[in-house]
Structure 1
Amino acid sequence: MTQIFAHRGSAGTHPENTMISFEEAYRAGADGIEIDVQLTKDGKVAVIHDEKLDRTTSGKGYIKDSSMAEIKRLNASHKYTGKYGKTAVPELEEVLDFLRGTNLMCNIELKNGVFLYPGMEEAVIKLVRAYRMEERIIFSSFNHYSLIYCHRLAPEIETAPLYRDGLFMPWIYARAIGAKAMHPSIACAPDPIIETAIKEGIKTRPYTINSEDKMKRLFEIRCSAIITDYPEIAVTLKKNYQ
């Protein structure tokens, strides 16, 4: 049955990539969460989407130029401050600690397309192994060199290339880089591509599925998973297809 991954947590209703957003995804009944990671100036793994602090926090400047302690002092509630109050940018350790008390899967997107962040792969893998989460983690990235490196360092952890342009026979490409899944933009993943990839043994989890019509269609073709900002809506709709 199609799994539901909450994109940056329940990002459509809560501040993205924050603990309250992940907690809401769990409460809503999602099967997993999708998070983004960057490296701070002091080598900590921060859970935040943009390379800059400007859009989602009260700070300014690049993540790579700030320490985790400095970032922690900022408000990451973004447009939801009035509704939920102040919340912080989490470290990956905090998310992994939260996951221990749940049955959630976690897709960790390595945000190393703009800055390569030397040592990021090692740092993330070390934490995942320390928490013994290898079987519940998926690494994804638009930087496919990074995914190959992750696969070499930790072949026991699933990898999935992210892509937003059409690929010819993407299941063959995924297999060629050691991936067991692929995460395409829904714009370049028509039903036949999804269905063939799954038939070929490559799990397919398109992003970002926010319309109910698209959710229904993907449930109907038994897509491996969807990545959505609205896990509660997806969970409710999915009940009609069980």
Structure 2
Amino acid sequence: MTQIFAHRGYSAVFAENTMSAFVAAEKAGADGIELDVQVTKDGEVVVIHDEKVDRTTTGNGFVKDLTFKEIRMFNANKKGEKKEPIPSLIEVLEWMKTNQLICNIELKNGILPYEGMEEKVIKLVREYDLSDRIVISSFNHYSIVLSYRMAPEIETAPLFNERIYMPWVYAQSIRAQGIHPKFSSITEEIIKESMKNGISVRPYTVNKDADIAKLLKINCSALITDDPVKALKMKKQLGKET
């Protein structure tokens, strides 16, 4: 059964990486959410995709140069009427205690190194006793290996946007239980072979009807989409709910 992960929450309708987007994804019946983390000047792990706040909020500047108090003053819902702050990871994990969602935390440390990011995220996940419902992913595979070494009980999954040879072998070599490939870089054969070898495959970002249907038909482990409502509807239509 293919799990449906809401990319940055239900981001097709709500402002990405906001609590509204996450809550809407859960209400829609998504199996999980995907979110991105950066670290503020004073060491708080916050949920935002870009290194800078400019694109998604009313503020400007690098997350790393702003304190948590400063960053919370910006509106992360630029186009909507309702003001929404950038969530802290703590806020999301506290909310997760009220549901059964899986959460894919993407460490955004491929551009800026964020010293100690892995320790901070793992410490919080353990504090909230959510290790069995978290997948840590990153394009920085050194970070993935470090996360596994620190917390072998938390699933890890490397992200990649190019086609790599026998990704299941690579995943096994870094002790990852899953892979998160760019949808356009993956083939049906690679998906099937990876799953056959015990590696979960969760392609991103899958929004077109034909692409969603293709993954549902081959029972891909999961798919990451901006529109969980559409994906869940198609899953029902195709009779892939059990």
TM norm structure 2: 0.98
Deviations 1:76-132 (A, max 9, x none): 0033x24xx211100000000111100100000000011110010000000000000
Deviations 1:196-219 (A, max 9, x none): 100111000000000111111100
Residue of structure 2 aligned with 1:120, choices 112, 117, 120:
117
Residue of structure 2 aligned with 1:171, choices 142, 163, 168:
168
Aligned to 1:53: 53
SS across alignment from 1:126: helix
**Pairing of 1:67-146 with structure 2 (within 5 A):** 67-79=67-79, 81-82=80-81, 85-146=82-143
Aligned to 1:160: 157
CA distance in 1, matches of 2:12, 2:205: 11
- Give 1:60 deviation, angstroms: 0.5
Give the 4+ runs in structure 1 shifted more than 4 A.
none
CA distance in 1, matches of 2:193, 2:116: 36
Q: Name the amino acid aligned to 2:50.
A: D
Q: Could you say what the CA RMSD is over the residues aligned between the two structures, in angstroms?
A: 0.6
Q: How many residues align?
A: 239
CA distance in 2, matches of 1:97, 1:122: 18
Counterpart check, 1:21 vs 2:18: no
| Percentage of identical aligned residues | 53
Residues 55 and 78, structure 1, Cα contact 8 Å, conserved in 2: no
- Give 1:190 deviation, angstroms: 1.0
Aligned to 2:201: 204
Residues 7 and 35, structure 1, Cα contact 8 Å, conserved in 2: yes
CA distance in 2, matches of 1:209, 1:13: 15
TM norm structure 1: 0.98
CA distance in 2, matches of 1:104, 1:60: 32
Q: Name the amino acid aligned to 1:143.
A: N
**Pairing of 1:182-197 with structure 2 (within 5 A):** 182-197=179-194
CA distance in 1, matches of 2:186, 2:198: 16
Q: Name the amino acid aligned to 1:6.
A: A
Query: Which runs of 5 or more residues in structure 2 are unaligned?
Result: none
